[in-house]
Amino acid sequence: HLATSLPLPSERDHLRPRIDLIAFMIDIKSKYSLKNVEASLAHVDASFFLGKVCFLVTGVGRVNYCSVETNAVWKLRDVYSSPVLYCELELEGIRVATAQRLLRMLQICAGHIPGVSALSFGSLMRNSEDE
Amino acid sequence: MDEIVAEYIRRTVLKIPRHEIKTMLQTWGFLSEAQLQTVNFHQTKDSVSREVVQLCKDNSADIKQAALLDIIYNHVYPNKRIWSVYQMNKSGEETDFFDLRDFKKKFKRRLQTALKNVTINFKEYEDNAIWIRIAWGTPYKKPNQYKTSYVVYHSQTPYVFISASVIRSTLPLLCQALVVASNYHDIREMELRSHCLNSLKDIVFKRYSQTFQTYYPRPLQERNVTSENVDLRIIQENKNEKERILRVNREVFGDGPQPKLEFAQYKLETTFKSNPSLDVSDIKEPFRCLVKFSSPHLLESLKSLAPAGLADAPLSPLLTCIPQKARNYFKIRERKGIFPGSFVSP
């Protein structure tokens, strides 16, 4: 399901399946996108932040056009205890690889991988980042 | 043949893209078909231009012929210059019949009595457009063929499109001559400027697609969502909002292509209003600020702002009123009264 902001329109509540993973996309070229994500985060139930939320930062290939500071992204990562993935959607190879990573995360969050829970995977990613 | 004329023709030919030279010379009609056959148009432009000049020398071209070639070049490539729009007013309701010869005579006479050294040439086109080329000199110097102004006058309308020369002092003289020659009362500049002459004509003659009030709650959808890569597994949550944005956008901009403008400029003469909690005292003098929007195609980019998620729909009327008001230079002044706001001055 694609949405431009949260909360989701209520008229489709009955049509929506269970949500296993929320990926917030931040375009590094647009401060507006960061503000939008920060505003939408307020509408997410706290239980999602136990491994079912991730941040996807796009547009990192164009170094000259960065509008969003890395510090701002790290702050989000720390405050909401959620992993950050960086990608460049304009390059097909990276696009495909990122999609595969997200899909893998989704499988874990939906409980399809026995032995690995969303929470344990989230803390695994967090620990590996700090090292 | 005058060396100045020869050089001018050579430089004009050099401006023309190589594959267009032959057609433009044929339109010009000064060199015969037989003469054009003798020129090899596949060699370098430099050589082509020299051969053409030699043929012109054989035919004894004068400045009139050279000026005509220049008009033809500018008619085909008007977008290399910036055009301003002027509107003329008649005081009474006399509907004089437009007499072309009379117009040309009066125009030339007016300019030449004021300034002896001018070259004036006319060319009429099918759509009632009269192209005038003026090369300016001074009371002591012959006209400089490279310092030219161009005027496009549609005789059935009060509008004149002027691409002025770099010599600013010639503009009032030019306007005066136009008013006198066309039997109008006065002329005013319309604060509308662009490189694209056809778009200026579209705006002023209202030839672009205008929006009208529709009473349908939703417009008929010609295109369904069965466009190229729609994966039915992707569900757009904000479809209603997206449709609202598209609908509002369509109501404001219409369906057809927008006229091509390159900039919009807003000169603010409003006082600075600060948040009362900020420690800035209210400054009484106007805060001088100039906001300029520029784009290769301004109106199309404004039209695509809301659907791309970069702005809220509907856009500010200051931006969307550009074609209706036929201007792209605005002065925004303080509205004096109980409710301070801002309004656009005429």
* Residue A12 to residue B237, Cβ atoms within 8 A: yes
- Only one residue has tokens 């009429």, namely B124
Q: What's A121's domain CATH number? A: 3.40.50.300
- Tell me whether residue A74 is in a domain: yes
Residue B338 CA to chain centroid, in angstroms? 40
Contacts A3 to B, Cβ<8 Å: 236-238
- Tell me whether residue A2 is in a domain: no
| Cβ proximity of B84 and B164 under 8 Å | yes
Which pLDDT value is given to residue B346?
47
Looking at the structure, give the CATH architecture of the domain made up of residues B83-204.
4-Layer Sandwich (3.60)
What is the total residue count of chain B? 346
Contacts B241 to A, Cβ<8 Å: 4, 9
Which pLDDT value is given to residue A94?
92
Give the range of the structural domain holding residue A36, as residue numbers without chain letter. 18-125
Which pLDDT value is given to residue A21?
93
ipTM for this model: 0.72
Partner A contacted by B241 (CB < 8 A):
yes
Which pLDDT value is given to residue B76?
93
Domain ranges of chain B: 3-76, 83-204, 242-276+283-333
- Tell me whether residue A39 is in a domain: yes
Tell me the shortest Cα–Cα distance from B230 to chain A, in angstroms.
13
pLDDT of chain A along its 131 residues, tens only? 888 888 888 877 888 888 999 999 999 888 888 999 999 999 999 989 888 999 999 988 887 888 888 899 999 998 998 889 999 988 899 999 999 999 999 999 998 988 888 888 888 887 776 65
pLDDT of chain B along its 346 residues, tens only? 788 899 999 999 999 998 899 999 999 999 889 988 888 888 998 999 999 999 999 888 889 999 999 999 999 999 999 999 999 988 776 667 788 899 999 999 999 998 888 999 999 998 889 999 999 988 888 889 999 999 999 988 899 999 988 888 889 999 999 999 988 989 999 999 999 999 999 999 888 776 665 554 445 555 444 455 567 788 888 888 888 889 988 888 888 888 999 999 999 888 777 666 666 666 667 778 899 999 999 999 999 988 887 777 788 888 888 888 889 899 888 766 443 334 454 4
Contacts B307 to A, Cβ<8 Å: none
Instruction: Please work out, in degrees rounded to the nearest 5, the angle formed at the alpha carbon of residue A125 by the alpha carbons of A121 and A129.
Output: 170
- Dihedral over Cα of B307, B310, B312, B317: its sign: negative
Count the domains in chain A: 1
Which pLDDT value is given to residue B78?
92
| Cβ proximity of B143 and B172 under 8 Å | no
- Tell me whether residue A6 is in a domain: no
- Tell me whether residue A44 is in a domain: yes
Identity of the residue in B237, B240, B310 whose CB atom sits nearest the CB atom of A2: B237
Question: Chain A interface, mutation test: which of B237, B245, B246, most A Cβ atoms within 10 Å?
Answer: B237
Burial of B90 (0-12, 13-18, 19+ CB in 10 A): middle
DSSP chain A: -B-SSSSPPGGGGGG------EEEEEETT-HHHHHHHHHHHTTS-GGGGTTSEEEEEE-TT-GGG--S-HHHHHHHHHHHT--EEE--TTSHHHHHHHHHHHHHHHHHHTT-STT--HHHHHHHHHHHHH-
| Element (DSSP H or E) covering residue B323 | helix B322-325
Residue B103 structure tokens:
């117009």
Looking at the structure, give the CATH architecture of the domain made up of residues B242-276+283-333.
Roll (3.10)
- Tell me whether residue A9 is in a domain: no
Identity of the residue in B236, B240, B241 whose CB atom sits nearest the CB atom of A2: B236
* Residue A9 to residue B235, Cβ atoms within 8 A: no
| Cβ proximity of B121 and B133 under 8 Å | yes
